[in-house]
A = this chain, B = another copy of it.
Amino acid sequence: MAYTVGQVAKVAGITVRTLHHYDEIGLLSPTGRSPAGYRRYDDADLERLQHIRYYRELGFPLEEIAAILDDPASDPAAHLRRQHELLTVRIRRLQEMVTAIEFAMEASKLNIPLNPQERFEVFGDADPDAYAEEAEQRWGGIEAYRESNRRVARYTKEDWLRIKAENEDWGRRFAEVMSSGAPADSPQAMELAEEHRQLISRGFYECSYEIHTGLADMYVGDPRFTEYYEKIRPGMATYLSEAIHANAISRA
């Protein structure tokens, strides 16, 4: 039940230097020392470190973490509750950022300019003065970037042109279906709605039916997107939106 700095560092995924630092500032001082002066951490220290790690991940400065953890009014269970709450809030926020990216991606694909608010609303609006954020450097910085690079791969100019061409080809065929007089929930329209979804999935990101219907709503809700489709063929924005919804329902 007693651990050395190295063991603790390894299991907790931090460096020995960090543990030294926490000891220096009194955030986490090991319960005991060996005769030779070696730090000895016990299970209670580990539990404290666990809370420290979670609060750190949530962006709390060390000083504040010390204050929170040393507050006699809140027990370990209270910290877990709070961490749970803060994590879910944070997940919601990241999901909003994902939606914002999807929005920006659609705009970029259709050459629709964004105004400043739209570029940053996900950052600024949450709080009157929400500032920058930092994150871990190994994992978030290099590794995940490489990983992302492997999977997203490099798009050459030709790839990009090909995507645009596919998109235009799809537009022509969709316009044809409209002209044929088939309703938006006809098999032909739904088939092309599905193809639209798969074009996004192959070219950009995994586009679930939920995301897809979100885009559909955007096409009728945002005049700039509406205009893009209306230019291809009048009535297309609404028609496409209905086809996407019909397709999503039929596949569920």
- A residues near B (Cβ < 8 Å) are 3, 8, 10-15, 18, 43, 46-47, 49-50, 53-54, 56-61, 64, 68, 73-78, 80-91, 94-95, 97-98, 101-102, 104-105, 108-109, 113-114, 116-117, 119-120, 123-124, 126-127, 129-145, 147-149, 151-152, 154-155, 160, 204-206
Contact = CB atoms under 8 A, between A and B. Distances in A.
A64 B101 CA distance: 21
A133 B81 contact: no
A82 B152 contact: yes
Contact of A133 (B56, B130, B145, B154): B56
Contacts of A143: 127
Nearest to A59: B135
Contact of A130 (B95, B132, B138): B138
- Chain A interface secondary structure, helix, strand, loop or mixed? helix
Nearest to A91: B94
Nearest to A94: B91
Given A54-B101, A108-B76, A141 B204 contact: no
B124 A108 contact: no
A123 B143 CA distance: 15
- Of A81, A108, A155, most buried by chain B (CB within 10 Å of CB) is A81
24 contacts: A11-B120, A13-B129, A13-B130, A50-B104, A54-B101, A59-B133, A59-B141, A64-B142, A77-B108, A81-B155, A81-B204, A82-B148, A84-B102, A84-B204, A85-B151, A85-B152, A88-B205, A89-B148, A91-B98, A94-B94, A127-B138, A133-B139, A134-B134, A134-B136
A46 B86 contact: no
A82 to B, nearest CB: 5
Nearest to A154: B73
- Of A49, A98, A113, most buried by chain B (CB within 10 Å of CB) is A98
A14 B116 contact: no
A252 to B, nearest CB: 14
A60 B141 contact: yes
A86 B148 contact: yes
- Of A18, A57, A116, A205, most buried by chain B (CB within 10 Å of CB) is A116
Given A77-B109, A84-B101, A97-B87, A135 B138 contact: no
